[in-house]
Structure 1
Amino acid sequence: MEGAFIMFVIVFAVGSMVSELIKNVDTDSTVTE
């Protein structure tokens, strides 16, 4: 049970990091274009 909870927390943290990276990529792509 604990392992699944830790896994969920890691997935949530990675997901938020990816969303932040996508936002940065969007702003960078608009500047390059």
Structure 2
Amino acid sequence: ICTSPCQNGGNCTAPSVCTCPTTFNGSVCEFR
């Protein structure tokens, strides 16, 4: 569903939308 896989344990919840763990952010959870 996501064009880019979510990193750091994030889950894809919508097209191109990652839901990230609370310690991560960014479009694919790439930032701590």
TM-score range, shorter chain: under 0.3
After TM superposition, the score normalised by the length of structure 1 is: 0.15
Structure with a larger share of its residues in strand? 2
Greater CA radius of gyration, 1 or 2? 1
Q: Which has the higher contact order (CA 8 A, sep 6+)?
A: 2
After TM superposition, the score normalised by the length of structure 2 is: 0.15
